[in-house]
Amino acid sequence: MAEAHSGLPPLDLDAPTEVPRVSVWVMLRPIWPFLIILVLWQITAYFLHARMGDLFPFFGSIVFRAWELITEPMIRAIGGIVDQNTLYEMTGFADEDVLDELIQSKTQMLKDAGFFAQVKAIFTNSLGFFDQLAKLADGQLLLHVLATAWRLPFAFVIATVIGVSVGILMGRFAFWEGFFVPLLSVMLPIPALAWTPLAVIWFGNGDQTVIIVTAFASFLPIAMAVWTGVKTVNPVWIRAAQSMNADKMTIFRTVVLPGSLPMILSGMRIGLARAWRAGVGAESLAGIRWGLSAGIFDAQEYLDTSFMMVAISVLGIFGFLLEKVLFQPIESRTIIKWGMMEKMGAQDKKI
């Protein structure tokens, strides 16, 4: 009888594992959409600049505006390095009013000197390193970023804790499912912005209103996603655990929770996106002075579109960093490591 041949080369277990090479174009693939948007923005600004002026700024103007917002306190401090002896050598007398005028004139000259002159002044001034850091901490953009950086993530954490808890109750107990599902189904389509005026009346202006509205808007999709994840865990896994005499808590901890984790993370992503949108409306209506969204609406009154674009870009970068720092490490250490994505039908290979 003739031997069957598969036509495949013999398997060499001692051969070194070859790692497929990734081309530069594939590595730069995430940058392509931003480059396309940048080119389209520059072309649009070129045709609209004659009609709208700085209301539709070029990309370079936006970048330089971001530089101004970051370094403005330091530039002002460098311009203020004028002592009484220098004033006396220049004018022959020392006077506080003349000193103030000289400081303002020097600061304005430094602002008008351009980017490279400002960089040179930053590295060649007589201020100490920690003094410069202290001046940078007083920057307008940094204050807006710090206000948003604690307010929205804090609201998201509250929404996650409550949403995951409610979602698990809905998925595990029929009573809580019948209690919460109709309520959440009614509230989920209502925009968070519609609740903001009521929240201002009930809780007043301030951070508490922004946190409550943001947490409420983020809680709804998280709870619904967790409920769906718990309800759709593969029953074969549960029966396998029951066949080994596992109790309910063990089944929940080792089967239900890991099995629903992909849906939980998906709901958290949606909740984070809704938190950003709710935070924008809440900061604009709740009388908040500091915050990226509050800064955007303040800049609208002065037609400072460059500041608005900088703040919007920071919001996008903030969300991107949260995705990279929060969600991707959790995914890589849990559902990807456990093979949960393939179990739910995800493709291992990309075309």
- Tell me the pLDDT band of 162, cut-offs 50, 70 and 90: very high
In-domain check, residue 175: yes
Question: Does 95 reside within a domain?
Answer: yes
In this structure, what token pair is assigned to residue 208? 């508490």
Q: Looking at the domain assignment, is residue 35 inside a domain?
A: no
The CA distance from 212 to 203, in Å, is 9
Give me the percent of the chain exceeding a pLDDT of 90: 4
Mean pLDDT over each residue of the chain, to the nearest integer: 76
Shared-domain flag, residues 108 and 217: no
Top pLDDT among 152 and 102 is at 152
Task: Determine, yes or no, domain membership for 279.
Answer: yes
Q: Looking at the structure, do residues 131 and 188 belong to the same domain, yes or no?
A: no
pTM for the whole thing? 0.72
Counted residue by residue, the chain has a size of: 351
Q: Are 267 and 206 in contact (CB under 8 A)?
A: no
Tokens standing for residue 148: 């948003």
Is residue 139 within 8 A of residue 72, CB to CB? The reply is yes
Domain boundary among 110, 136, 162: 136
Q: How much is the pLDDT for 130?
A: 65
Task: Tally the domains of the chain.
Answer: 2
Last residue of a domain, one of 136, 165, 192: 136
Question: Which pLDDT band, with edges at 50, 70 and 90, does 51 fall under?
Answer: confident
Predicted confidence at residue 90, as pLDDT, reads: 53
Are residues 210 and 251 both part of a single domain? Answer: yes
Same domain assignment for residues 132 and 247:
no
141 or 117, higher pLDDT: 141
Q: Which two tokens stand for residue 98?
A: 């003349």
- Return the CATH number at 156: 1.10.3720.10
pLDDT of residue 208 exceeding 90, the answer is no
Burial of 10 (0-12, 13-18, 19+ CB in 10 A): exposed
d(CA 90, CA 83): 11
> Quick check: 150 pLDDT over 90?
no
Q: Which of 136, 166, 196 is the last residue of a domain?
A: 136
Residue numbers of the domain that contains 87: 57-136
Does any domain span residue 9? no
What are the DSSP calls for 99-165, one per residue? HHHHHHHHHHHHHHT-HHHHHHHHHHSS--HHHHHHHHTT-HHHHHHHHHHHHHHHHHHHHHHHHHH
Same domain assignment for residues 119 and 91: yes
Average pLDDT over residues 93-98: 55
Residue 350: what pLDDT?
47
Tell whether 156 and 278 lie within a shared domain.
yes
pLDDT at 161: 92
Residue 192 falls within a domain, yes or no?
Answer: yes
Contacts of 246 (CB under 8 A, 6+ apart): 254, 255
My answer on whether 207 and 266 are in the same domain is: yes
Tens digit of pLDDT for each residue in 248-281?
788 887 888 878 888 888 888 888 888 888 887 7
Do both 188 and 278 map to the same domain?
yes
Q: HSE of 168 in the Cβ direction (CA atoms, 13 Å)? A: 15
Most confidently modeled of 70-84, 125-139, 223-237, 294-308?
Answer: 223-237
Per the CB < 8 A criterion, the answer to whether 123 and 71 are in contact is no
Highest mean pLDDT among 105-119, 153-167, 230-244: 153-167
Q: How far apart are CA 107 and CA 75, in angstroms?
A: 7
229 within a domain of the structure (yes/no): yes
- Assigned domain for 249 exists: yes
Q: Are residues 292 and 225 part of one domain? A: yes
On whether both 189 and 272 belong to a single domain, the answer is yes
